[in-house]
Amino acid sequence: MSVTAFQDLPLADRDREWDGGAAEKRVRRWADATDDPNPKYRDAHVWYDQDKKSNFTAYKLLIADVIDGELRAVPRGVMAAGAIMQGSRGGIDLPPSDIDRVKSHLAKYYAKMGDEPPWEKD
């Protein structure tokens, strides 16, 4: 199991809509990962199962989309991932040892957005 390295991706506009399914398709095309995942594809996610990294289903918490040919973190995607980590969207099955690292990764994007992660609020 593995948390991806923080990429410090540029942020999309805060009001940009988030459609994870459409973003997934654009990221696959941009990363030239139509047949198999690769490191560029991995960079759009926060977590992946390293033992199954050749399967698209091993990648979780997509937070990025391709905008004007560039991979960008989408604030609403970050917030959706934050809500999952907070448990308000049913949670996610991650190894307990990775949860703090995933939250740390997401917290860096919350800081870039000038916001606080939901798990740090009252």
Query: Do the beta carbons of residue 46 and residue 63 sit within 8 Å?
Result: yes
Mean pLDDT of 54-58: 95
Is residue 88 over pLDDT 70? no
> How much is the average pLDDT of 67-85?
96
pLDDT value of residue 90: 55
What is the band of 48 on the pLDDT scale with cuts at 50, 70, 90? very high
List the domain boundaries for the chain.
Answer: 2-114
What is the full DSSP assignment across the chain?
Answer: -EEPPP--PPBPPTT----HHHHHHHHHHHTT-SSS--HHHHTTEEEE-GGGTTSGGGEEEE-EEEETTEEEE-HHHHHHHHHHHHTTT------HHHHHHHHHHHHHHHHHTT---GGG--
Q: So what's the pLDDT on residue 16?
A: 96
pLDDT at site 89: 53
| Strand order, beta sheet including 45-48 | 2-3, 45-48, 59-62
Predicted local distance difference test score (pLDDT) of residue 122:
58
Average pLDDT over residues 51-76: 97
- 9-30 pLDDT per residue, tens: 999 999 999 999 999 999 999 9
Q: Phi and psi dihedrals of 70, rounded to 5?
A: -120, 140
